[in-house]
Amino acid sequence: MIRPIFDRVVMATDLSPAWDQIVACGGELRRLGCSGVILTYVITPNFFDGPGENPPSPAASCLAAQRRVLEEKGLEVIIETPIGLPGRSLNGVAQKYGASLIIIGSHGKSRWREGVLGTFSGAVLHNVQFPLLVLPVRVAEGREPSCLWHCTELLSHLLFPTDFSQTAAEAMCYLELLAPRGVTRVTLLHALMTLPGKSGEPQGDVEGQAVARNFLDLLQGRLEAAGVPEVETRMAVGHPVAVIVELVKTTDISLIVLGTQGKGFIAEISLGSVAHNISRFAPCPILLIPPADRDSRE
C-alpha cells in the first residue's frame, strides 16, 4: 500500500474566482493521497463589523459552493472560518485536524492580497509549521484573479533545487515518498556560487562542482531506487532565483519541491523571496517543506 503522506489538507481559500478554479481541480489532490479537506477562510481583524462565529453571508454561500465541488471529487470536507492573522490561523487549523499540508494561492484579494503573499514572509511563510503548496495565481489589472494551474498532472515533472543542507535532505525525503504516487520525471538542480574569472565573466568553483556532482549522483540513485523512471541532474552558475525561474520557464516543470531553510542559496531565497520572486514568475505550483523541528533552527 502506498503511504498517504498528504491524507488531510488545509485549503486556504480567499473565495476569489481563482479559488473556484483551484477547487475545481480538487480531484488532482487525490494523487497526493488526499482524502479529506479542511476548507478554511481566514477572517482577518476588522474584515467585517464586530466579531462573530459566522462569516458574512456572501462568504458562507461561496464556501458552501466550494464545499460541494470538492465533495463531488470524492473528498470529505470540513469548513473552518477562524478570525486572526493568516499564518497563525492556518497553523492552528492544521494542528486541530492533524493535517499534513496547507494549500494557498500565491495572491489573494482584499486583505489577503497583503496577508498571503505581499507580506507573506511575515505572515504564513515565517510561521508555517507544515508543508505548504503554493498554487500560481495572477491578478491582472482590472481583472479578477486567475489560477495558472489548470488541473495539469501535478507529479509529471518535479524540480528539486538543493544545496545539500539538512533542510534539503528533509525535503528530499518527501520527494522519495511522492515517487510511488506517479512521479514520472525529476530534475535535480544545484546552483553554484559564482567567482569572477580572468575576463570578468562569472565562473564556477571547480572543486565545488566536483563535490556537487557527487552529491547529485547520490540523490539520483536514491530517486531511481524509489521508482522514478527518469531523473536528470543539472548544475548552473548564477543567482539561484534566476537559475530556477529560467529553468521553469524553459521546461515543462509541473511542481517545484523546495526546503524553506538551509545553507547557501536556500537560506538566501527561503522565506522572503522564494515565494515573492519565484512565485511571481513560475507558472507552476511550489511545494515548500519546512524543517522538521523549525523552532530549534531559527
Percent of the chain exceeding pLDDT 70 equals: 68
Residue 232 dihedral angles phi and psi, to the nearest 5°? -115, 140
Rounded CA-CA distance 82/42 in Å is 5
Residue 144 is placed in which grid cell? 479578477
pLDDT surpassing 90 at residue 204: no
Percent of the chain exceeding pLDDT 90 equals: 37
Q: What is the pLDDT of residues 232-269, one digit of tens each?
A: 999 988 877 888 888 988 899 999 998 876 444 444 44
**76-79 long-range Cβ contacts below 8 angstroms, 24+ apart:** 76/35, 76/36, 76/37, 77/36, 77/37, 77/38, 77/39, 78/36, 78/37, 78/38, 78/39, 79/38, 79/39, 79/40, 79/41
Q: What is the pLDDT of residues 41-88, one digit of tens each?
A: 988 776 444 554 556 567 899 999 999 999 999 999 999 999 988 888
| Nearest to 130, CA basis, from 160, 93, 177 | 93
Rounded CA-CA distance 83/102 in Å is 17
Q: What is the dihedral of CA 65, 70, 76, 80, to 10 degrees?
A: -50
| Nearest to 133, CA basis, from 208, 48, 32 | 32
| Nearest to 196, CA basis, from 205, 186, 188 | 205
Rounded CA-CA distance 145/105 in Å is 10
Residue 285 is placed in which grid cell? 505550483
- Separation of CA 108 from chain center: 15
**pLDDT band at 3, cuts 50/70/90?**
low
Residues 6+ positions from 127 with CB-CB distance below 8 Å: 87, 88, 91
Q: Name the helix (H) or strand (E) containing 158.
A: strand 158-161
Q: Which domains does the chain have, with CATH numbers?
A: 8-147 (3.40.50.620), 158-284+291-297 (3.40.50.620)
Q: What is the pLDDT of residues 91-148, one digit of tens each?
A: 999 999 999 999 988 764 434 444 444 443 335 555 668 898 988 776 555 555 566 6
